Amino acid sequence: MVKMNMSDIDISEPLSDMLAPLNDEQKEFLMNNYTIQTYKKNETIYCEGETPSHLMCLINGKVKIFKDGVGGRSQIIRMIKPREYFAYRAYFAKEDFVTAAAAFEPSVVCLIPMSAIATLIAQNNDLAMFFIRQLSIDLGISDERTVNLTQKHIRGRLAESLIFLKESYGLEEDGSTLSIYLSREDLANLSNMTTSNAIRTLSQFATERLITIDGRKIKIIEEEKLKKISKIG
């Protein structure tokens, strides 16, 4: 982890939705209470069991929120994309982290002390509503994901993950290659399946010409068919 000079990165645009409810004095307070840190690929950002102290906003890069389960298997809970906030729920719940976070690729993160966030929330009802909305959205996504990962068959889960990655991170300039390169293990952890099942199902999708595979690069050929597979489960 490498600390950077505050002046190197302008956070006003990535944090614009959180800054919007604040008055000028509150904005100045926030801008005087943050740090910027960079993380290398696969570097841990926080660990399960640690006590939360900062709200985090991803400035650029890709981050996974995960939890180690039975037999050492990991389950990827969420994928964070730029301008998304994370690491603050546990603070509001007055508990330690129940998940861990790591950088998928070199990433830049803005950290704001939760003590500063709590001060601003006490002064500004609109900011409190902002976080209520954020938590409510995350809870809705989590509820839907829980059902999908437990009720859908393997093909449906993997198809859903590919569509999710496309919608979260977009495509490369060719208009079809996912702009995130996951290992088969990470793709399996995202889809709640074994690595061998992920490899086999990917191969089936490739044989059916729904996708093409080049190492960790996955090109989506038949998005509508993948959506249909995801929908029927």
Give bridge partners of residue 54 from the DSSP assignment.
113
How far is CA 6 from its chain centroid?
24
Amino acid 150: pLDDT: 79
- Rounded average pLDDT over 127-144: 92
Q: Is the pLDDT of residue 54 over 50?
A: yes
pLDDT at 23: 97
CA distances from 213 to 176, 178, 183, 202, 206 (A): 12, 11, 12, 8, 7
pLDDT at 159 over 80: yes
Q: Using N-to-C axis directions, what is the helix angle for 184-191 and 195-207, rounded to 10°?
A: 100
Domain-wise residue ranges, the chain: 16-149, 152-232
Between 98 and 149, the more confident residue is 98
pLDDT at 97 > cutoff 50 = yes
Confidence check: pLDDT of 57 > 70: yes
Tell me, what's the pLDDT at 15? Answer: 93
For residues 209 and 221, the answer to whether their CB atoms sit within 8 Å is: yes
Identify the pLDDT of residue 69: 76
Q: Does 4 score more than 70 pLDDT?
A: no
pLDDT band at 8 (very low <50, low <70, confident <90, very high): low
According to DSSP, residue 51 is labeled P
pLDDT (tens digit, 9 = 90+) per residue, 61-88?
Answer: 999 999 987 777 788 999 999 999 999 9
- Classify each residue of 96-113 as buried b or exposed e, where b means 16 or more C-beta atoms within 10 Å of its C-beta: ebebbbbbbeebbbbbbe
pLDDT at 6 > cutoff 70? no
For residues 199-215, average pLDDT: 96
Closest CA to 163 of 103, 205, 134, 133: 205
> What's the CATH class of domain 152-232?
mainly alpha
Question: 16-149 belongs to which CATH class?
Answer: mainly beta
| Residue 2 predicted with pLDDT over 80 | no
| Rounded Cα gap, residues 223 and 12, in angstroms | 35
Q: Which residues contact 190 (CB under 8 A, 6 or more apart)?
A: 76, 79, 161, 164, 165, 182
- With b for 16 or more beta-carbon neighbours within 10 A and e for fewer, the 159-192 pattern comes to bbbbbbbbebbeeeeeeebbebebeeebbbbbbb
